[in-house]
Amino acid sequence: AQSVTQLDSQVPVFEEAPVELRCNYSSSVSVYLFWYVQYPNQGLQLLLKYLSGSTLVESINGFEAEFNKSQTSFHLRKPSVHISDTAEYFCAVSAKTPPGTASKLTFGTGTRLQVTL
Amino acid sequence: GAVVSQHPSRVICKSGTSVKIECRSLDFQATTMFWYRQFPKKSLMLMATSNEGSKATYEQGVEKDKFLINHASLTLSTLTVTSAHPEDSSFYICSATILAGVSYEQYFGPGTRLTVT
């Protein structure tokens, strides 16, 4: 089984400031890692994912996350946030499965990023 | 891109009635769909895994007779909340899986807000 911990329930930050949203996971097997963003009353949108290869992954809107196996972390960062980045961010993990098998996601409790002027 | 729709987006029903929520993959076929429930300011809780042509697999603590899942085709899964009660009020989100490289990726619907009065 897997578990995900997002220690920060809320992160207030000023516009154009950097931000880091923390995510730690626990698993007895190899995993894939994901960050999702949820805007009010909407479903989740995939922000970025780590499957294999380079431990640093980037999104098209300036976010990046780094997989750190020794620390079992997958923290999300952005060097300069915008008002429009205000949303709920969920870290998720799924077990690596054999080809042809879809694995369920285990989510963290989410971090509310609040960007203000 | 992969689009998942849910219908209805909002529904209000009286206690004791049943409500059906549809989840459709619009431009791809999904062998597996997942149903989640999200409480206010909380994470997503996986309810069940829905595989086309077979019975759904429910997570521990989820009543299969109360939350009926039917995955009749590769593009449609339905969740029926039977004999709904106020405590069933929640935000229900589905996801549909698609093979993306070496892993399955989940695409989420926009969610259905259920209010039971």
Mean pLDDT of A22-36: 94
Query: Which percentage of chain A shows pLDDT scores above 90?
Result: 75
Mean pLDDT of B44-51: 92
State the DSSP code for B87. Answer: G
pLDDT at B9 over 90: yes
Mean pLDDT of B49-59: 90
Interface of B with A in 47-86 (CB under 8 A): 49
pLDDT at B98 over 70: yes
pLDDT at A9 over 90: yes
Q: What is the pLDDT of residue B72?
A: 83
Q: For the range B97-102, what are the long-range contacts, defined as Cβ-Cβ under 8 Å and sequence gap of 24 or more?
A: B97/A102, B97/B30, B97/B31, B97/B32, B97/B33, B97/B34, B98/B2, B98/B25, B98/B28, B98/B30, B101/A51, B102/A51, B102/A52, B102/A99
Mean pLDDT of B77-92: 96
Q: What is the pLDDT of residue A100?
A: 66
Calculate the CA B43 to chain-centre distance: 15
Q: What is the pLDDT of residue A18?
A: 98
Mean pLDDT of A97-108: 80
Could you read off the pLDDT of A60-101 as tens digits, one per residue? 889 999 999 999 999 999 999 999 999 999 999 998 877 667
Mean pLDDT of A6-12: 95
Q: Which of A36, A51, A106 sits opposite B103 (nearest CB)?
A: A51
Hey, is A96 helix, strand or coil?
coil
Q: Rounded to 5 degrees, what are φ and ψ at B62?
A: -100, 125
Give A36's contacts in chain B (Cβ within 8 Å): 108
Query: Which percentage of chain B shows pLDDT scores above 70?
Result: 99
Q: Rounded to 5 degrees, what are φ and ψ at A59?
A: -105, 170
Q: Which of A43, A103, A108 sits opposite B93 (nearest CB)?
A: A43
Query: Residue B4 pairs with which residues in a beta bridge?
Result: B25
